[in-house]
Amino acid sequence: MIVTVTLNPALDKTLVIPRFTLDAVNRAVSGRQDPGGKGVNVSKVLKSLGGDSLATGFLGGSSGTVISAELERMQIRSDFVRTQGETRTNLKVFDPERHTYTDLNEPGAAVSQDDLQQLKKKLFDVTSPGDIVLFAGSLPAGVSVSDPVSWASELKSRGVLVAVDQDGETLREMIKICPFLVKPNEHELFELMALPDKEIPTLCAAARRLVQLGIMHVIVSLGEKGALFVDETGVLHGKAPRVDAVSTVGAGDALTAAYLYATKSDFKREDAARFAIACATAKVTCPGSSPPQREAVDAMIPQIEIQVLNE
């Protein structure tokens, strides 16, 4: 089983505004709402691929109710801790003429110590050795970095495979427990490892150092340049053709979801990388944070280029 942990989920509101302009009145031509947050997005993609997951974390208020109802409608299993605060709403602005994406993200309501204990109990009650638990996204007020790090460490000691898609100090501390998988983007890896630049050879060397620490899989998302897949056998660079992007929101989450799905399905290494890149590429053609359909992912696979970088 795959469990996605989203400590700071969001109701994503996406507006399409041609020629979006700062310090001016802007009129949207369309809009949509989606349940969001990194772990939630991963669960959505897993469902669309034909996989299964349990989404958990914190939800509160009317926004939390909307997210819960939408996940139920999508037939995605969830078991969130209900909190007193209101789950945040994140605004995404897509300008189809300038091809820009602007994110305005709220910080998220605080959670209590009782909320934290409830979520920890849920995690340990539902997981077994061999399960994958993904910790993804930012931390709300009331959650210290030590909370998810200590949970992840204990889960790992029980035979659970811990995956991490977080940034900043949380990622830095998570690295110390040597998770099964980490997925920084190029900017996050640049900051994490204090790199001199973001060139491919530099990123490859940094990812290899993480593998040498004991992390089995390091995936570095590179935006339009694809992604690096690094393990003890070497480095793969996956690249996709250019597509007409509608929304980049959740593209990295689609990459993570597809790779976790491939891992659970025993894909060969290059096939897993190709599948993950295809999924992320298909996702950017979908509005908001909506997931790509499996048919679109499969159609994209033959167009994905995988290069071995073992020099």
- Which residues are catalytic, by number? 253
Per-residue burial over 241-263, b if 16 or more Cβ lie within 10 Å, else e, is eeeebbbbbbbbbbbbbbbbbbb
Query: Can you count the helices (H) and strands (E) in the chain?
Result: 10, 15
Residues 244 and 246: their CA atoms lie apart, in Å, by: 7
- Would you call 273 exposed, middle or buried from its count of C-beta atoms within 10 A (0-12, 13-18, 19+)? buried
Closest to 216 in 3D by CA, of 183, 256, 190, 192: 183
Q: Which of 69, 81, 67, 77 is nearest to 35 (CA)?
A: 67
Tokens standing for residue 211: 């593998």
Alpha helices in 137-250, H assignment, sequence order? 146-157, 168-175, 186-192, 200-213
